[in-house]
Amino acid sequence: MQKRKDIKEKAKEYFYSIFSEEKSEHSIAFGFALGTFFCILPTFGFTIWLLIIISLIFKNINKVSLFSPLIVWNPLLLFPIYYLSYKLGNFIYSIYPVISYNIVFLSNIYNISRRFLVGNFILALAISIFSYFIIRIIIKMKKQSILEKLKK
């Protein structure tokens, strides 16, 4: 029972350290937005490896905020995003003629995948930018409430 309390206290301390002055609001929000971008892209299991590489490249990025989108963007949320990705790509490519090859299977794969990938890239970029601003607002509000608690 004591171990559970210790873990809970350490998790609470770590959560509050995220909002401390060590990392800027930009660093935390940018980490979440970057993690969101790569979580939404259809990397099919390689997302964690991409995020590890990104965490090694960007030293000032908050690691917790970079990996937390792995929890947020689970398959239940990604299926509707993938559906919207195809619909958006289909809308974009509806004005272009369909490219067809002699092999029907390859022709279908090419047309479906390019529509899906273009739509997915646009949605991932838009959701990442939106999440950056939302997380930044949440951090400002949390920092204010923590400072108010510390002043009391």
Q: How many distinct structural domains can be found in the chain?
A: 1
- For 22-88, give the secondary structure using H, E and C: CCCHHHHHHHHHHHHHHHHCCCCCCHHHHHHHHHHHCCCCCHHHHHCHHHHCCHHHHHHHHHHHHHH
The pLDDT tens digits of the residues spanning 97-152 come to 766 777 777 777 888 888 999 999 999 999 999 999 999 999 888 888 877 777 76
Q: Which residues constitute the domain of residue 24?
A: 2-151
Averaged pLDDT for residues 36-60: 91
Helix axes 25-40, 75-93, angle to 10 degrees: 70
Rg of the chain over Cα atoms, rounded to whole angstroms, equals 20
d(CA 34, CA 148): 30
Averaged pLDDT for residues 31-56: 93
Q: Report residue 11's pLDDT band, with 50, 70 and 90 as the boundaries.
A: low
d(CA 63, CA 47): 14
Q: Report residue 79's pLDDT band, with 50, 70 and 90 as the boundaries.
A: very high
d(CA 44, CA 35): 14
For residue 88, the model assigns a pLDDT of: 95
Helix axes 75-93, 104-151, angle to 10 degrees: 130
d(CA 66, CA 55): 8
For residue 18, the model assigns a pLDDT of: 57
Is the confidence at residue 61, as pLDDT, over 80? yes
